[in-house]
Amino acid sequence: MKLDKNNLPDKNGFFGEYGGKFVPETLMYALEELETTYEKLKNNNEFKEQFYKDLSEFVGRPSPLYFAERLTKHYGTGSIWLKREDLNHTGAHKINNTIGQILLAKYMGKKRIIAETGAGQHGVATATVAARLGLECHIYMGSEDVQRQSLNVYRIKLLGAQVHSVDSGSATLKDALNEALRDWVTNVDDTYYIIGSVTGPHPYPMIVRDFNSVVGEELISQSKELFDSMPDAIVACVGGGSNAMGAFYPFIKFNETRLIGVEAGGEGVETGEHAAPLNDGTPGVLHGALSYLMQDDSGQVKGTKSVSAGLDYPGVGPEHSWLKDSGRAEYVAVSDDAALKAFHEVSELEGIIPALETAHAFAYLDTLMKEFDKNSNIIVNVSGRGDKDINTVANIDGIKI
Amino acid sequence: MNRLTNTLEELKNKSKKALVAYLVAGDPDIETTLELMTVLVESGVDIIEVGVPFTDPIAEGPIIQKAHDRALKNNVSLKSIFEMVDKFRKNDNDTPLVLMGYLNTFIFNKALIEDNKNDVIDSVLVVDIPGELKLKDYGVYNPNINTISLISPTTKKDRIESIAKNSSGFVYYVTLRGVTGASNLDVNEISSNIEEIKKHASVPTLAGFGIKSAEDAKLLSQCSDGVIIGSSIVQMIEESSQSKEFDRISTYITDIKKAIS
C-alpha cells in the first residue's frame, strides 16, 4: 500500500478493499451521471472559483486556527489549537460539502434536493443552500433525532424545507439514510441526493471528502504561519467521518502528523452499547459501501448508542476503514460520560460550547496530551457548535429550560 | 438440472407465463411461512421468492419493510431459513426457490450458500447491487445455484447486454422507478425495455415491482415471460396473521394465474 499517493479511490470507487458502489440497479445511472459531472467540473476554473467565492462570502471561510490558552495550561504539555469550524455559517463543517454539492446539482439541472440528517447540522446546511437557489428540499431525519434535535428541526423548517420524520428501524441516522435512498430510487430523474458524510456509494465518499478538504488545506498554511511546522497530531470526532476526513486528507502525505479519529463509545466499547465500528466492528455492506460495520452474528446491522445524534451511526466512511487498516490513522473511542465532561470543561475553559460530537474529540485529550511534550502542537477540529445540544445536556443534568 | 431453469423451460415449451410469488421468511413466524409456501404452490404459483429479512431493506416500500421487521423480531436468520426450506423440500422437490435479500446477509453467510445442504435452494437474487456485479467475486457462490440480475427503467442500453449475460436464472425487470409496492407503472416503457432485454438475454425476462391487480399482471405478462407479485401477498399475510386463514391469498393467486394464462 502506497501511502504517499493520494490517488484513492480507484476507478471503481475502492479504497483498498473498502468502498464500492453497492446500490439497487435503478440508482446506477444517477451515480454515473454524478461521477461524470464531478470529474468534468472538479478542475474547471469557473466551478472552483464559484465554490471558493461561496465559501468565503457566504460561509465566512477561512475559519480561524485559534490557540486555546487555558486548555493548553490545563494539560500543561503541548500547545492545543482549535480549528474553528463552529464559526462557519450554520454552525458546523457540514456547510462546506453542501456548498459544493448544490453547485453540482445546479449544473446537472436537478430541481429537487433531498438529504438525510442525524444531529440536524447537515439538514440545516442542505436546507440553507437549497433556499439560496430556490430549490425544493426534503430532509429525512429519524424520529428519535427529531426529538433530541428539535432546535435544528425548526431551523430546517424556517429555511423552507420539509422535514420527514422516519419511524422505521432504530429511528436514527441510519434509517434516515434508508428513507432518503428510497426517495432517490423513486424520484431519481429530477432529484439530487446530497449525502452529508463520506459514506454511501462511490462517488460520494470522494466528493464529500474533496469539498471538506478545504479544512485540511487551510490547516497546512495556518500551521506554517502560526507555529512554523506541521502539527504533531490532528484530533477529530468520527461518525460517518466527514469532518475528520476533510481535516486528515491533505495531511496523509505528512507522516509526522498523527491523525486521530475519535468514535462514540456510548456506554463503553466493552459493553457493546456504542457507535464505534472502527473499534468494535467487522467489514460489511451498508448504504452502498463496504466498510467497518457494527453487525450481529447473523449479519444484521446492530443498533447503536450515543448521546450524540451525529455520531449515532453503525457504519463509517470507507476511506477511514482503509486508513485504519493501513495504520496511517488511529481510531479510538470515548464514552458518553467523558464527552459530556469535556463539553462542560471546554465551555468553561475556553468560552466555546462545542457540539456533543466535537466534545468526543476534546475528551480524548485527557489521554492524548500525556503523550506529548511542551514543544508539540495538537489541533482539535471543532466540527460544530453546541447550541443544538443545550436541551439534551440540560435534560441529562436534570435542568428544565 | 436446476429446478428454476427446468420450470422456466417447461413453461416456455407450453407457451405459458411464469407466476412468481414473494413472501418474507419468518413473517408472521417461520412455521407459518412454511405453511404459506404450500398454499402458494397449491394455488398455482410456479416459483417462490423467499425474502431474507434485513435490518436496512432500502429497496422495499413500507409493506415489505414492516414484514422484514416482524421477521427480525422472530430472530429469523439465513440459517433458520435454510432449516425451514429443508422441511419444505420433504414434501415438494419441484418448486424452484429463490432467496431474495441484501448483499450484506449473503456475504456474511457465504458458507451457507456454498454448502446449500441437501440442494434445497435454486437461485439467489440480491437487490442492492448493480446488475453486472458478480457475487462470486464476493465469495457468494455455488455452482448449482443460479444468480438473478436486475435491470431497471434507468439502466442504460449499453449495460443491458452485460447484465443479461450475468443472469443465469432469469432477468428480473424492475417495472418502475421506486420501491416495492409502489404504483406508477408505465406499460409502454416496460414493454419496449423488455423487448430490448430479450435481444440480449438467453434466459427468460420476468417483470416485478408494483404489480397488484390481475389486470396489471395480464398486461405485463403480455410483454414478458412472467410476473412477480410481492407487496400484495405480504399485505394479505399481515392482515391474516392472527386468523391464519389464507383463503384470500389462494383466491388472489388463482385470479392472477387465470389472468396470465
Active site residue A116: yes
A178–B130 CB contact, under 8 Å:
no
Higher pLDDT, B186 or B50: B50
Task: Record the cell numbers describing residue A140, joined without a space.
Answer: 429525512
Instruction: Nearest chain A residue to B110 by CA: give it.
Output: A299
Tens digit of pLDDT for each residue in A308-347?
A: 999 999 999 999 999 999 999 999 999 999 999 999 999 9
Residue A357 has pLDDT above 80, yes or no: yes
Q: List, for residues B148-159, the tens digit of each pLDDT value.
A: 999 999 999 999
* A302 included as an active-site residue: no
Does position A5 have pLDDT exceeding 90, yes or no?
A: no
- pLDDT surpassing 60 at residue B7: yes
CB contact under 8 A, B69 and A169: yes
Mutate to test the interface with B, among A285, A296, A313 (most CBs of B within 10 A): A285
Cβ-contact B207, B240 below 8 angstroms: no
Task: Read off the pTM.
Answer: 0.96
B-contacting residues in A 298-337 (Cβ below 8 Å): 298-301
Determine the pLDDT at residue A113. 98
Is residue B196 annotated as a catalytic residue, yes or no?
no
Tell whether A164 is within 8 A of chain B (Cβ). Answer: no
Inform me whether the pLDDT recorded for B25 exceeds 60. yes
Of A168, A284, A298, Cβ closest to residue B79: A298
Q: Decide: B220 and B187 in contact? Cβ < 8 Å.
A: yes
Q: Considering B10, B60, B196, B245, which one is annotated as catalytic?
A: B60
A186 with B78: Cβ contact below 8 A: no
Nearest 10 degrees: Cα torsion B192, B194, B199, B202: -170
State how beta strands A14-15 and A18-19 pair. antiparallel
For residue A306, the model assigns a pLDDT of 96
Cβ within 8 Å, pair B133-A286: no
Give residue A1's pLDDT band: very low, low, confident or very high (50, 70, 90): very low
3-class SS string, B127-157: CCCCCCCCHHHHCCCCCCCEEECEECCCCCH
Q: Please check whether residue B78 touches A, CB under 8 A.
A: yes
Residue A136, SS3 per DSSP: strand
pLDDT category at A170 given cuts 50, 70, 90 is confident
Instruction: Decide if A186 and B155 are in contact by the 8 Å CB cutoff.
Output: no
How buried is B136 (Cβ within 10 angstroms: 0-12 exposed, 13-18 middle, 19+ buried)? Answer: exposed
pLDDT tens track for A93-145: 999 999 999 999 999 999 999 999 998 999 999 999 999 999 999 999 999 99
Indicate the average pLDDT of chain B.
96
Question: What is the rounded distance in angstroms from the CA atom of residue A98 to the CA atom of residue A125?
Answer: 6
Give the tens place of pLDDT for each residue, B235-261.
999 999 888 889 999 999 999 999 999
Q: Which of B167, B164, B186, B165 is nearest to B175 (CA)?
A: B186
Angstrom CA distances, B199 to A26, B161, B165, B168, B227, stand at: 20, 8, 11, 16, 19
The predicted complex's ipTM stands at: 0.94
Kindly state whether B179 is in contact with chain A, defined as any CB-CB distance less than 8 angstroms: yes
Would you state the pLDDT for residue A3? 41
Quote helix, strand, coil % in chain B, to nearest 5: 50, 15, 40
Q: Give the Cα separation of A248 and A47 in Å (integer).
A: 24
Average pLDDT over residues A181-187: 94
Report the share of chain A in percent with pLDDT over 90: 95
The pLDDT assigned to B182 comes to 84
Whether A34 contacts chain B with CB within 8 A: no
